[in-house]
Amino acid sequence: MIKCHLSRMLGERKLKITDVARDTGINRGTITRLYHENASRVELDVIDELCRYFGCEVGDLLEYIEDAK
């Protein structure tokens, strides 16, 4: 499964979803789905913009965790 660390990143910086949406131009619904980890797909330009905004690498934002069998 893919784990999104957006909620942790916002918490560390004391940001709100609306702050990120306003500053990046990314749709608030998209950010909300990533924040709650229920997005089924994400456009690469969204990942690119979030990495630019947070000054991070893709691996800081998204992490692959192998499912327990």
- Is 67 a residue whose pLDDT tops 90? no
The chain-wide mean pLDDT, for the chain, equals 95
Rounded distance between C-alpha atoms, residue 13 and residue 54, angstroms: 9
Q: What is the pLDDT of residue 68?
A: 77
Domain 2-64 CATH (choose: 3.30.300.30, 3.40.50.720, 3.30.300.90, 1.10.260.40): 1.10.260.40
Instruction: pLDDT band for 22, please (50, 70, 90 cuts).
Output: very high
HSE of 64 in the Cβ direction (CA atoms, 13 Å)? 1
* Portion of the chain with pLDDT greater than 70, in percent: 100
As a whole number, mean pLDDT of residues 32-60 equals 97
